């Protein structure tokens, strides 16, 4: 099975694909409640527990993680945010290795989208384009909406993790043939 992760300190998406590329499970871990998750270590410990629970049902062959942003871009994320995300990405990567014994591989978001034939039109946010693609192409992908008719925030993270898992699955299949 393939595990795809979209790591964030607020909501982390996780998708597991079986050996045939079918979605086995698609989760979001919501860390926005500061009372339950006051530090990134509490968040990482929760992910560790979820990985152990998943390991009871799945044998992971590969783990693919969306690579954290590598450069500051004005108007998007501050340098402090990029540093925090990179630290958390590293901690979760280590948790994957320590808990499951698998060294994760990293995929840049644009690369994963390209591998899944997702095009982001100019002026459109990537997360919206990804969600539209997933809704249009993935049977059984459930979208929950807010009372205002917008997708709940965790939906985007679940969709992103699915794209990472799909791209990782393609790489895994390609590499296992050669």
Number of other residues whose CB lies within 10 A of the CB of residue 104: 21
Statement: residue 150 has pLDDT above 70 = yes
Q: Which residue has the higher pLDDT, 100 or 177?
A: 100
Of 20-24, 115-119, 172-176, minimum mean pLDDT range? 172-176
Q: Is the dihedral of CA 109, 162, 1, 52 positive or negative?
A: positive
Give the pair of three-digit tokens for residue 160.
């992103």
Percent of the chain with pLDDT over 90: 58
What per-residue confidence (pLDDT) applies to 74?
54
What per-residue confidence (pLDDT) applies to 72?
47
CB 113 within 8 A of CB 158: no
- Domains along the sequence of the chain with CATH: 2-177 (3.30.420.10)
- Indicate the pLDDT class of residue 6, thresholds 50, 70 and 90: very high
d(CA 110, CA 163): 10
d(CA 156, CA 108): 16
- Kindly report the backbone phi and psi dihedral angles of residue 105, in degrees, each rounded to the nearest multiple of 5, phi listed first: -110, 155
CB 126 within 8 A of CB 132: no
Statement: residue 91 has pLDDT above 80 = yes
d(CA 85, CA 146): 26
**pLDDT tens-digit profile of 39-85?**
999 999 999 999 898 888 888 889 999 987 554 455 556 777 778 88
Find residue 64's DSSP bridge partners.
Answer: 4, 105
In this prediction the pTM is 0.89
What per-residue confidence (pLDDT) applies to 84?
81
What's 21's DSSP letter?
S
Number of other residues whose CB lies within 10 A of the CB of residue 141: 17
- Indicate the pLDDT class of residue 127, thresholds 50, 70 and 90: confident
Cα distances (angstroms) measured from residue 88 to each of 39, 53, 81: 10, 21, 11
CB 138 within 8 A of CB 96: no
């Amino acid at each position: 099975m393939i595990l795809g992760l979209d790591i964030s300190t607020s909501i982390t998406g996780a998708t597991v694909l079986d050996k045939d590329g079918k979605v086995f499970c698609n989760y979001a871990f919501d860390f926005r409640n500061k009372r339950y998750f006051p530090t990134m270590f509490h968040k990482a410990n929760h992910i560790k527990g979820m990985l152990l629970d998943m390991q009871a049902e799945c044998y992971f062959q590969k783990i693919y993680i969306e690579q954290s942003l590598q450069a500051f871009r004005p108007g998007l994320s501050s340098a402090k945010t990029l540093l925090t995300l990179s630290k958390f990405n590293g901690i979760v990567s280590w948790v994957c290795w320590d808990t499951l014994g698998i060294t994760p591989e990293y995929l840049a978001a644009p690369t994963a989208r390209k591998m899944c034939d997702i095009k982001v039109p100019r002026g459109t946010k990537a997360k919206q384009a990804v969600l539209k693609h997933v809704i249009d192409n993935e049977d059984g992908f459930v979208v929950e909406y807010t009372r205002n008719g917008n997708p709940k925030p965790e939906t985007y993270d679940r969709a992103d993790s699915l794209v990472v898992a799909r791209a990782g699955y393609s790489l895994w299949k390609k590499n296992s043939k050669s």
